[in-house]
Amino acid sequence: MKIFNPQQIKELDQYTIQEQSISSVDLMERAAHKIVDHITLNYAITQNFTVYCGLGNNGGDGLAVSRLLLKKGYNVTVYVVKYSANTSLDFDENIERLKKITTLRTIISEKHIPPIPNNTVIIDAILGVGINRPLDGLCKVLVDAINTAPNFKIAIDIPTGLFCELENYSTEHTLLNANTTLTFETPKLPYLMPSMAKHIGNWKVLSINLSSHYKHNIATEYEYTTLADIQKINIHRAKFSHKGTFGHAEIIGGAYGKIGAIVLATKACLKAGVGLVTAYTPNCGMQILQTTVPEAMWTGNQPCDFYLEGNYINTSKTIGMGPGLGVHPKTQAFLHLVIKATSTPMVLDADAINILAKNKEWLKDLPKNSILTPHPKEFERLVGSFNNDFEKLEKLKEFTETYNCIIVLKGANTAICSPNGQIYFNSTGNPGMATAGSGDVLTGIITSLLAQKHKPIEAAILGVYIHGFAGDLASTKTGQISLTASDLIKNIGKAYLKIKQVS
């Protein structure tokens, strides 16, 4: 699912109007019906609503929603926020329609802002995606008042004051803090940024049948990976396949006291479908691996008892390296040997990334299209500090282009960046996955998919999706608080089954 910038959103609306031979006000009506459908599913007819409408098309959406709610029997109080003398044509059309069935109230200055009743749900339709400067005057004071109120708040399309373009964002700006944001057709980029969470709240995309032709043909920098996107990646198995068909992965890592990480990665690699897997650990990991993962083979250098060191011989296996590795100086040298001995894409996580952050000159030796899976702090060690989400994404693009690699920046809506700067945000997963070993499981899954000859960018996108999906399935049984990395592994197979069931 492509993510559009404000200009593309405007073009998409106009293209739809021309393609479907409808008026802009009819398209607005279509959007209003979808919002009202959502509201009626979630709120009893006894619920009161207070709608604040600006003077542009976002305000027009609010007026249309108010009219439809009133017709359904809801108690709705509508305020028009008179911050300017100018209005949009669709706003004018909808205010005339609404005047026929109710009395509108107008807020013309800060002193005319009325108290907000406790028993009402607030709907924010003051300013939309077209905003290009920070809030001031009446809008700023009103938004501050709304934020102070304890009421539940629903934003239409985007919370008032929030820019679609990340580079314009500042923590000093006044922005409405919504509990829920209802948008149309595709998410907006700010929805996927950690710093915006308190403004966006939970968000939902409502389809209003905008032009599929435009969406298909327009290029975007960002995409949001959905189940429909995942179903386009082939995970079919031919009848006469054998274990050699699905590759041989080598999971390298572990140190004394950290063998659990390599166990988790190895188990996940197998569950994700690789034909063969070898765990490469110090000697202290051999008995543990052979006992806990009987399906895996084991190897290691002699006499590495407590951490990995020494030589490494290229074996043509697909390598995933880092879980539990440690950062001993001899292990650092060993990692560099592995990188130089490998000519095909590899997966690097955890301490492998921390070692590269200490030895940045080794990054140039990475095989093309290798996949690095840092969490935010590990990423910061690689690229340096950044002040905001916009700078973070710019550094993400710059790094992948410079080193011709793929970065999986872990977190809510994990961001996967390809060497050409395209970023894919993931749609699965939950906060329960913020637990020890979760990243080791992801390393195993992506390494498995890479060994199965998926293209590196596909292995990263599919691996992150399955990892999150397994977490979502697991949380339905354990809840989020009690979720563990082992629960993720148990649900990898179920995630595959769910994907195939609906494909």
Long-range Cβ contacts of 278-281 (<8 Å, 24+ apart): 278/248, 278/249, 278/250, 278/251, 278/317, 279/250, 279/251, 279/254, 280/250, 280/251, 280/252, 280/253, 280/308, 281/252, 281/253, 281/254, 281/308
Cα–Cα distance, 212 to 224 (Å, whole number): 16
User: What would the two tokens of residue 258 be?
Assistant: 């950290």
Q: Find where tokens 């879980």 sit.
A: 323
Annotated binding site for (6S)-NADPHX: 57-61, 128-134, 157, 261, 324, 375, 440
Cα–Cα distance, 265 to 252 (Å, whole number): 9
Annotated binding site for K(+): 58, 124, 160
Q: Roughly what angle, to the nearest 10 degrees, separates helices 376-383 and 351-358? A: 20
Amino acid identity of residue 218, one-letter, is I
Residue 67: which H helix or E strand, with range?
A: helix 57-71
Peptide bond into 114 cis (omega under 30): no
Written as one string, the DSSP assignment of 92-113 is: HHHHHHHHTTS--EEE-SGGGP
Residue 53: which H helix or E strand, with range?
A: strand 48-53
Cα–Cα distance, 63 to 71 (Å, whole number): 12
Cα–Cα distance, 21 to 284 (Å, whole number): 71
Annotated binding site: 57-61, 124, 128-134, 157, 160, 261, 324, 375, 410-414, 439-440
CA distances 446 to 23, 267, 450, 458, Å, are 47, 12, 6, 9
Annotated binding site for AMP: 410-414, 439
